[in-house]
Chains A and B, each alone.
Chain A
Amino acid sequence: MKAHLDRETIALRAAREFFDGAVVNLGGGIPSLASNFVPEGRTVIFHTENGALGFGHVARSEREENPYIMNASGMPVTPLPGMCFFHHADSFAMIRGGHIDITLLGALQVSEKGDLANWMSPRRKVGIIGGAMDLAFGCNRVIVAMEHTTPKGEFKILKECTYPLTAPNCVDMIITDLAVIKVAKEGLILKEVAPDWTVEEIQAVTEPKLIVAEDLKEIEL
């Protein structure tokens, strides 16, 4: 069986989208790992909706842990010069007000139009909206980092989402364990593929028809 990128490597590839000076919010799961992979030479200002901006990497030892500096995924993160704190109304003013450049979110499903579903799995009676709806509506660029299919091999990239939507028409890019896909007006453009995977193999695990980019390449890490 061919190798899939592991969760860290998906996060590493996603972090390459963080441009120098970008203000970035990371969701839970794979996205939360991306703060450890900021490309060298770039300064990224991380935002967490529970009220901090400009913190550093996730604490790597108990000595680095501080209960007063935690991200929304419950991870202790480290302080950086220039870090600041604020309350929830200000935090979401940043999000809805267009002051966050990039949000990296997990997803249950993404449609070819860029619809995002990540708050309610029908296997559960209760969903979790959290900050995801505001992030998906308010951030300038929405990038999804997720596994390409469910553990059972069901499509997660679909023609239409079957789960309740977090936001319609919001996703700009999908980064998975197999591919990097750009969401464009004309459809889903396959930009990068995991090592040893062919376009046909990736199409087979993706419901909508993929448009193959002229400059298609292997995922660069």
Chain B
Amino acid sequence: MALNKVYDSIDEAVADIPDGATIMIGGFGHAIDKPQNLIQALRKQRARNLTIISNSAGGAGPLGIGSLGGKPFIDEEILVENGQVKKVICSVPASLVMSKPNAFERLYAAGQIELEYVPQGTLAERIRAGGAGLGAFYTPTGVGTDIEQNKEKRVINGKEMLLEFALKADYALIKAYRADAMGNLVYRGIMRAFNAIMAQAAEIAVVEVDELVEVGQIDPETIITPGIFIDRIVPISKEAAT
């Protein structure tokens, strides 16, 4: 863990991501929860054969509701369509609008990309478990469905459950609202989503923030992600922010 975690250049913050890396990408699927600038920098950097762990394969939104819901934003899809992704581990691989298939669906139909379906809650818990140093856990979700294939089943307290393994990544690219130079993070509204748990589950956690403040300026009672989880911080100026 370097003492100076602040990167002025977004490109430098992702420069060492190698081909074949496993990368968690935070957010849920809204403009304000995605690390849009880091995703864009990773596309420019052109690392290939990536395994992406995320809620969606991108291109699920905008959902087109209201002037906010309908506004386009950058997500995982720009990596998928650029041929950088070998495999996606997610709960929402396809576009929510059947008539507008996303890049993942097109590549998947052509046999050019792999998919591991994970129910969203199982995905969140596998990531949490990875960050918490656990190996696996049992969950009732998926029993009696296609998801149970090849999974160990066990009855716990009279209920059938599936064994699900923890997930870790080489890098996590996440979004937060405010950071201090130690990496202590505060989010805003629905921004926490997968960001706050992915921060804990990667070898190198890279966060883009709207605001960087001096150490000591964030009330310790309000810190959501303690700074030791964060390795690199990139403040995004309002002008540059997408």
Residues of A within 8 A of B (CB): 28, 48-52, 58-59, 62, 65-70, 72-76, 85-89, 91-92, 95-96, 121, 123-134, 137-138, 164-169
Q: A76-B68, A96-B121, A138-B141 are in contact. Are A70 and B94 (CB under 8 A)?
A: no
The distance in angstroms between the C-alpha atoms of A124 and B90, with both chains bound, is: 17
Question: Are A86 and B32 in contact, CB atoms less than 8 angstroms apart?
Answer: no
Docked complex Cα distance between A178 and B78 (Å): 43
Q: Does B98 contact A (CB under 8 A)?
A: yes
A51-B28 in contact given A87-B195, A131-B91, A131-B120 (Cβ < 8 Å): yes
Q: Is B178's beta carbon under 8 Å from chain A?
A: no
Across-interface contacts of B119 in A (CB, < 8 A): 129, 131-134
Complex interface: chain A residues within 8 A of B191 (CB) = 68, 85
Provided the pairs A67-B30, A91-B124, A164-B145 are in contact, do residues A129 and B192 lie with their beta carbons within 8 angstroms? no
Nearest 6 interchain pairs by C-beta: A68-B189, A74-B63, A92-B121, A134-B121, A88-B124, A87-B196
Please tell me if the beta carbons of B117 and A165 are within 8 angstroms of each other in the complex.
Answer: no
Total inter-chain residue pairs, C-beta < 8 Å:
173
Given contacts A124-B94, A128-B96, contact A89 B124 (CB under 8 A): yes
A130 to B194: give the CA distance in the assembly, Å: 13
Nearest residue, chain B, Cβ from A120: B146
* Secondary structure of the A contact surface, majority rule: loop
**A96-B121, A130-B120, A134-B121 known; A59 vs B66 contact (CB < 8 Å):** yes
Please measure, in the bound complex, the distance between the C-alpha atom of A130 and the C-alpha atom of B91, giving whole angstroms. Answer: 5
Partner of B94 from A68, A88, A128, A133 at Cβ < 8 Å: A128
Indicate if the CB atoms of B105 and A126 lie closer than 8 Å: yes
| Contacts A85-B187, A126-B105; A168 near B145 (Cβ below 8 A) | yes
Residues of B within 8 Å of A59, CB to CB, are 66, 68
- When the two chains form the complex, which single residue of B62, B109, B193 contacts A88, counting CB atoms closer than 8 Å? B193
Q: Are B67 and A62 in contact (CB under 8 A)?
A: yes
**Residue among A134, A164, A168 with the highest chain B CB neighbour number at 10 A:** A134
A74 with B61, Cβ < 8 A, contacts A88-B28, A129-B92 known: yes
Which residues of B come within 8 Å of A, CB atoms?
28-33, 55, 60-69, 91-94, 96, 98, 104-105, 108-109, 115, 117-125, 127-128, 139-147, 187-197, 224
How distant is the Cα of A91 from the Cα of B138 in the complex, in angstroms?
A: 17
- On whether the beta carbons of A128 and B69 are closer than 8 Å, the reply is no
Do the beta carbons of A73 and B65 come within 8 Å of each other?
Answer: yes
Is B28's CB under 8 angstroms from A92's CB?
no
> In the assembled complex, how far is the CB of residue A162 from the closest CB belonging to chain B, in whole angstroms?
13
Most B-side CB within 10 Å, residue of A51, A52, A87? A87
The closest CB in chain A to the CB of B109 belongs to A125
Establish whether residues A76 and B193, one from each chain, have CB atoms under 8 Å apart when the complex forms. Answer: no
Q: Is the CB of A125 within 8 A of B189?
A: no
Asked if A74 and B30 sit within 8 Å, CB to CB, the answer is: yes
Q: Is the CB of B189 within 8 A of A87?
A: no
Chain A residues in 8 Å Cβ range of B189: 52, 66-70, 85
How far apart are B31's CB and chain A's nearest CB, in angstroms?
Answer: 6
Give the docked Cα–Cα distance between A127 and B120 (Å): 13
> Which residues of chain B have C-beta atoms less than 8 A from A168's C-beta?
143-145
In contact, B197 and A50 (Cβ under 8 angstroms): no
User: Given the complex of chains A and B, what is the CA–CA distance between A183 and B63 in angstroms?
Assistant: 32
Partner of B142 from the list A48, A75, A91, A133 (CB cut-off 8 Å) is A133
Residues from chain B with Cβ under 8 Å of A167 in the complex: 144-145
User: Shortest distance in angstroms between A84's beta carbon and chain B's nearest beta carbon?
Assistant: 11
**What is the CA–CA distance of A49 and B67 in the complex, to the nearest angstrom?**
22
Chain B nearest CB from A111 CB (Å) reads 12
**A76 / chain B contacts, CB cutoff of 8 Å:** 66, 68-69
Contact yes or no, B32 A68, CB < 8 A: yes
With known contacts A51-B193, A74-B62, A87-B197, A92–B125 Cβ distance under 8 A: yes
B147 touches A127 (CB 8 A): no
